[in-house]
Amino acid sequence: MSQYYPQETVRNYNMRSAPQLTPKGHNEATCLEYGLLKVPYEMLNRKFRTTIKRLGKPMIAINNLSNSIESAIPRSNQPLPIAKINDKYRGLTKKVEEFASSFQDSIEAEIEIAKVLESRAEYLNKGVNGDEQDIDYFRRQRVCRLLVDHLLRIGYFETAQKLVDYTAIEPYTNQEVFQVAKQVEESLKRQDLSICLQWIADNRSKLHRLNSIFETEVHVQYAVELVKQEKRKEALEYAQKYLQNLGMKEWKGNVLTLMTVIGAGPFPGDTYRKLLSDDRWTELIEMFRAENARIFNISTLSPFSACLQLGICAHKTPYCTENENSRCIVCKELFDFSLGLPYAHINVSRLICPYNGEVIDESNVPMMLPNGQVYGENSIHELKRGDEIYDPNSDQHFALRDVKRVYIL
């Protein structure tokens, strides 16, 4: 077996040789890169477990054939049954070759995912601890990656792909996860459970570890569809096959409602009507999104949304109001987005001139017009028109002598 899988192959891609990340360059924004490494890690973990299951049956068959050959060899001085042993040996050789081929394919697939994980670790390390040029390039790409992630979450796959192609960041996005999710969601929208059941089969072990009820709900829906087609006997057989291993605590909710529907048909009432309505498909889609995020440890809130909300909070004050003429970015453009978000915690306030954006301080003292509008002294000189002062905010003119100095205590 060593001729197929030399030890150097495994050693070259041992993740212990991946670059170590030092905490010196880490900050709050780096925490948003959790999904950059966690998703390929979960994919590698799933591939490893799938490989174990895939190779389990061939290994049992090889062991059985080996034992059969050993039992066919007589223990005394009797002649060997060459023909019988030869047939079994051919079967064993064939099984070993099939196992070797399957094992090699699985190893190559795992190595490919491990390379992706290693590449992303190097990319993150370089972006955090590299030189100024590398860090600046990484931060620019980060904005695009966060946008792509957000677009994929809300279903704009074509737009996300165009941005990926334009910025060349495909190796650092989790498109594969969301593309599979897209296929499952589209099948559920068509009221087709086949692709969803295949997804469950691929992720069954992780769903069980998460104590997920999604698989049970999908089997319930499959049986409900059979009931809708007046195939109550088939629905009962399906329920017996896939729901018989449920624990006593799991026999509740939609499972019990399904049993009633199968046995006695639709009953009046919201509980039965809800189970048989088309709204159930929307619930399954929402449930799938939540379970898919749990499997790959994808945060419920996209990193882009977190950054956007944090930025809005940094500018939001108790005095923010919707005003398209304001120089405040929250008041002018983002007031609707700021609703419900907390205010910024500011220990030292700064006054900004609404005309030129300069800081109002002792070298640029505040001056107030008769209408209450306050500008910096530098702006007053720019807005002076002879003996008058022009207010661009209200489009009014005032006598220069009416401008007053403002003192802030």
Q: Please count the residues of the chain.
A: 409
What is the sign, positive or negative, of the torsion defined by CA atoms of 151, 156, 162, 165?
positive
Owning domain of residue 317 = 303-338
Same domain, 201 and 286: yes
Task: Convert the pLDDT of each residue in 28-85 to its tens digit.
Answer: 677 778 888 888 888 888 888 888 888 888 888 888 888 887 877 777 677 777 777 7
Q: For the beta carbon of residue 77, count every other beta carbon within 10 angstroms.
A: 5
* 27 dihedral zone (left: phi>0; alpha: psi -120 to 50; beta): beta
Task: Convert the pLDDT of each residue in 346-388 to its tens digit.
Answer: 777 778 888 888 888 888 999 999 998 999 999 999 999 888 9
Same domain, 314 and 367: no
Question: Would you state the pLDDT for residue 193?
Answer: 92
Residue 44 domain-assigned (yes or no)? yes
Q: Tokens for 395?
A: 């489009």
Residue 147 domain-assigned (yes or no)? no
Residue 168 domain-assigned (yes or no)? no
Q: How far apart are CA 65 and CA 60, in angstroms?
A: 9
Closest Cα to residue 333, out of 357, 358, 311, 355? 311
Same domain, 193 and 89: no
In the chain, the number of structural domains is 4
Q: Which residues in the chain land under pLDDT 50?
A: 1-18, 21, 23
Residue 144 domain-assigned (yes or no)? no
Q: 386 with 398: CB under 8 angstroms?
A: no
Predicted TM-score of the model (pTM): 0.66
The β-bridge partners of 351 are: 360
Residue 397 domain-assigned (yes or no)? yes
Question: Would you state the pLDDT for residue 25?
Answer: 53
The 3-class secondary structure across 159-228, one letter per residue, is HHHHHHHHHCCHHHCCHHHHHHHHHHHHHHHCCCCHHHHHHHHHCHHHHHHCCCCHHHHHHHHHHHHHHH
Separate counts of helices (H) and strands (E) for the chain: 17, 8
Query: Given 295, 311, 328, which residue is the final one in a domain?
Result: 295
Q: Under DSSP, is residue 78 helix (H, G, I), strand (E, B) or coil?
A: coil
- The one-character DSSP state at 316 is -
